[in-house]
Amino acid sequence: MTAIASAAAPVGDRVLKPRTRSPFVHKFLANKGAVIGATVLLVFIAAALLAPWIAPYDPLKANFLAVRKAPSMLYWLGTDELGRDLFSRLLWGARSSLVAGGVSVAIAMAIGVPLGLIAGYFGGKLDAMISRVVDALLSCPFLVLAIALGAFLGPSLTNAMIAIGLSAMPIFSRLTRGQVLAIRHEDYLEGARAIGLPDRWIILRYVLPNVMSPLVVQATLTIASAILAEASLSFLGLGQQPPSPSWGSMLNTAKNFMEQAPWMSIAPGVAIYITVLCFNLLGDGLRDALDPKH
């Protein structure tokens, strides 16, 4: 009796019950890799946001008295060919890489998800037309298409984000269409149609919320690919332009000094590797936590 009373104690007309974690939170926290990935990403995001305050040096200011200095207490990650502090440039470069990943995926979802919803819900000739365009884009490898679009639009971070977003759009369109086809004839949708609800209301109110879980997982995994693509475009001179730092442009510069100053390539390379790995771990954790079968 004492245990029961302590578990649910009456207060007036109410009964206070102990709080329990949601199944999603419980399953996510049980995945140690996902928790580690999310924690590291939060650190990276915080460092990028606080770069103006925690960067010890101006990332654009050259110091010709400290050209290609090895890592030391004064320059934690060393300096580059112009004497600029690599740690400061790494922090500011995190802004470009993380923003490029997030904005690119936002562009891809803003275009791909509506197309997938329309194709899957209405079907017919509209579905056939959208599907053929998506199939044509999917026939070209993601990175090759991003490089081609980046070269066509011109070298800049904005154009690189647009190119990456357009290249990733078919993935979200195809995924959304498949999810909509799986639920298109469910009873709750048939009931909504029977009472005369307009199609746009049914799509926004009933269809979209029920296909969001796989889209969130795919978005997390695609951000990792987008960061790699942005680094590749910047490495080729199609992304962030000098002197503004980005991890890809830092690698582009470092390739010319691999023997004289190998530390110039280590910092941005490790940063890209850790960020992409953590996004993949986070995506795997979200997939398991959102999967009703687990």
Tokens read off for 249: 């442009």
7 located within any domain: no
d(CA 92, CA 48): 6
The pLDDT tens digits of the residues spanning 53-90 come to: 999 999 998 888 888 899 999 999 999 888 999 999 99
pLDDT grade, residue 20 (50/70/90)? low
8 located within any domain: no
140 located within any domain: yes
Number of domains in the chain: 1
292 located within any domain: no
DSSP reduced 3-state for 185: coil
Which CB contacts under 8 angstroms, 24+ apart, belong to 68-72? 68/257, 68/260, 68/261, 68/264, 70/261, 70/263, 71/263
294 located within any domain: no
pLDDT grade, residue 5 (50/70/90)? very low
Whether the CB-CB separation of 107 and 288 falls below 8 Å is answered with: no
Whether the CB-CB separation of 14 and 20 falls below 8 Å is answered with: no
Residue range 141-169: mean pLDDT, rounded: 92
φ, ψ at 261 (rounded to 5°): -145, 75
The pLDDT tens digits of the residues spanning 232-252 come to: 998 888 888 888 888 988 998
66 located within any domain: no
Tokens read off for 66: 């400290």
Of residues 84, 37, 32, the one with CA closest to residue 59: 84
At residue 19, the pLDDT reads: 54
Taking 70 as the threshold, does the pLDDT of residue 2 lie above it? no
Taking 80 as the threshold, does the pLDDT of residue 118 lie above it? yes
At residue 273, the pLDDT reads: 94
- Whether omega before 243 lies within 30 degrees of 0, making that bond cis, reads yes
Cβ atoms within 10 Å, residue 200: 10
157: CATH: 1.10.3720.10
Burial class (CB in 10 A: 0-12, 13-18, 19+), 233: buried
285 located within any domain: no
The pLDDT tens digits of the residues spanning 206-236 come to: 899 888 989 999 999 999 999 999 999 988 8
pLDDT grade, residue 183 (50/70/90)? confident
Token match 């470092």: residue? 254
Q: What's this model's pTM, rounded to 2 decimal places?
A: 0.86
pLDDT grade, residue 194 (50/70/90)? confident
Tokens read off for 225: 């690919």
Sequence-ordered list of residues with C-beta below 8 angstroms from that of 257, at least 6 positions apart, any chain? 68, 81, 264
Tokens read off for 104: 């690119």
Quote the domain boundaries for residue 103.
Answer: 24-57+73-277
| DSSP classification of residue 70 | P
Average pLDDT over the chain, rounded to an integer? 87
3 located within any domain: no
Half-sphere exposure of 178 (CA within 13 A, CB side): 9
Is the pLDDT higher at 170 or at 185? 170
* Residue 143: alpha-carbon gap to chain centroid: 16
Residue range 162-184: mean pLDDT, rounded: 93
DSSP reduced 3-state for 11: strand
Taking 50 as the threshold, does the pLDDT of residue 119 lie above it? yes
pLDDT > 70 fraction of the chain, expressed in percent and rounded = 92
Tokens read off for 210: 């029920």
Half-sphere exposure of 127 (CA within 13 A, CB side): 13
